[in-house]
Structure 1
């Protein structure tokens, strides 16, 4: 009997349970962020492919044209990812230790 009692884990305190829920939530958010990052990379590749196919003037400078076209989209995506990252960081900072 004594061996069985030692193998049982003590029940988590309400504080530990709350911290575990928060940790699970942060991990879930991280997984979602990773998934969104992959989708962003794929979208950026598709965008660059479409831009190179729809280039009306072949003698036009590619880097300058690409920068003009991508700039608003890149700014928007950076803003969205920045907001998500800030939200995740604030959640992690609230975790003790």
Structure 2
């Protein structure tokens, strides 16, 4: 399995526009054959930060995710709302 951890810093006051787009992208992502988990989390102490945890079959599944129409639509819609985004990937340790 291939894990993806994303931290997004949203512009101050931008969460009201960002959150619905993010949740729609998460919902659509879970419909992809290689996507097994897509969690969206926030911390009340950091109201402009979003944490994502995504789990795919493999790196190819994640790469395919980034080519989907729903991801491209989401990415274009929220680009002006993002101050900073970090993406980290991991191989899931099993056994």
For the aligned pair, the TM-score class normalised by the smaller chain equals 0.3 to 0.5
More strand by share: 2
State the structure with more CA Rg.
Answer: 1
With normalisation by structure 1, the TM-score equals 0.32
TM-score (norm 2): 0.32
More helix by share: 1
